[in-house]
Amino acid sequence: MYNTLTKLIRFANLEIGSSHQRVDVDIDMLSADFHVLTTGGGSGNGYDDIWSQTYLRSGEHTLPDCTYPSDELHLPASLRHAEPSQLLVNTTLLSFIHCRPSKASLDTLDPSGGLLGLAPSESLAHADKPSLLDQLLDAGIIDQKIWGLLIIDGKSGMLSLGDTGMSIAEDVKVGIETRLKGLAGGIKGSHPKRRTPDLHGKDASNPEDADEMQKPITWRDDWRWAPLQSAKGWWQVLLRGIWVNGAKVLRDQPAIIDLTTPFILAPPAAARAFYALVPGSQHLPPPNSAFHIFPCLNPPHIHLETGGWNFPVMQGGARGKGMHNHPGGAFSLGRLEPGSGYCVGAVVETMLGYDKTVARDNGLSDASETVVGEAAELVGHGMEGVWVLGEPAFRGLAMVFDGPGQMVGFRSV
């Protein structure tokens, strides 16, 4: 099931109901619920049951101001697959948590839309109901409980449910390359071939090598896989190394993948070790002590080591062409101030999991009690020393998330 992400990387859209109401859906990697929110705020592309003749009302209240009805989900054209003996399926019945805040609540001013939970385990669900992936699997729409995401830049990408999505992405890439070659010299392009096994140095007389040489190639062989390292619930992997400008700065760093986070959050000591290898970087004083700056014309080259491979991330220099043609390149959050030669780095210090004393010792001494309290909110919850890899870390990378297999696959594009 494919959906092109536009405008904001976290948004996809689904068509629900007999009137094909288009619902903007936000991705939530820390929940397994599928919510649809109908408000009176007048903003957002939402859903209203009064316009759907196929709406099946339910008196079951799963959460405050929320019921659990059903309605038709209209499938994207790329998902309407079937066996030759079957008719093409255009819709399927979908049950979801439908929330409508009361008029006396401030929540009714929020934008209408949906929240698609994609956590690796149902243990993070707020309601004991099947996830969207489970419902698609039970209906035979998808045949495996995986989902993929290809992030092109900060404004576009591709979300896939039940598949990696790389087949469509490669078709688009081949089409573009074919046209470019045709313009250059009329050379015809070809579809990319499946990766062949690396048989260099293999000996057929060796039983282990013989087994490997005869092993069938599957779609999983095109990805580098990292097992989940935490208890079920978070997409947490182990970064074997973090490289800056060709030097391995840090080893064996636990990291949670959360694509809805606009930064890369790092423990204070790790962040400062990281920026120590960024030439010209400076640590900002309080109250902005969570941030570091670097010369806009000299962005660092960063690689994340996981799944047995070094993946370049946030590539693109300050003078580069294309999607990262802005001050400081892909690593930059923007200039420190208009006209400044310094840019703010995307790696930001976080105090999550640390107590108040450590928070103050690391630059929050001038912050209010509320800020320090929030920083120490997750003490004892396993967040101390953990990175949070937000959306900027994965631009230009394709990922596939396998909840049942407890793995995350990575691939450069």
The pTM assigned to this predicted structure is 0.79
Q: Fill in the DSSP letter of residue 50.
A: G
The number of residues making up the chain comes to 413
Find tokens 């900060």 and name the residue: 154
Judged by DSSP in three states, 286 sits in coil
For the chain, give the longest Cα–Cα distance. Answer: 76
Q: What domains sit in the chain, N to C, each tagged with a CATH number?
A: 2-166 (2.40.70.10), 225-412 (2.40.70.10)
> How far is it, in rounded angstroms, from Cα 280 to Cα 381?
35
Core vs surface per residue 11-29: b (16+ CB within 10 A) or e: bbbbbbbeeebebbbbbbb
Distance CA 6, CA 230 (A): 32
| Three-state DSSP state, 365 | coil
pLDDT in tens, the chain (413 residues): 444 443 334 467 888 999 888 888 888 888 889 989 888 777 777 788 889 999 999 888 888 889 999 999 987 655 544 343 333 457 889 999 998 888 888 878 888 888 899 998 887 788 888 999 999 999 888 889 999 888 776 667 788 888 887 765 555 555 545 554 555 444 333 333 344 444 445 555 566 655 555 565 788 888 999 999 876 778 999 999 999 999 999 999 999 999 888 899 999 999 999 999 999 999 999 989 999 999 999 999 999 999 989 999 887 544 444 444 578 888 999 999 999 999 999 999 987 766 555 555 555 444 444 344 444 444 455 677 899 999 888 887 889 999 999 999 998 87
d(CA 372, CA 63): 31
User: 293 forms bridges with which residues in the sheet?
Assistant: 282, 344
Neighbouring-strand partners of residue 340? none
Choose among 190, 198, 191: nearest CA to 221. Answer: 198
Residue 142's region, left for phi above 0, alpha for psi from -120 to 50, else beta, is beta
Assess contact for 36 and 96: CB atoms under 8 A. yes
User: How many whole angstroms separate alpha carbon 236 and alpha carbon 382?
Assistant: 11
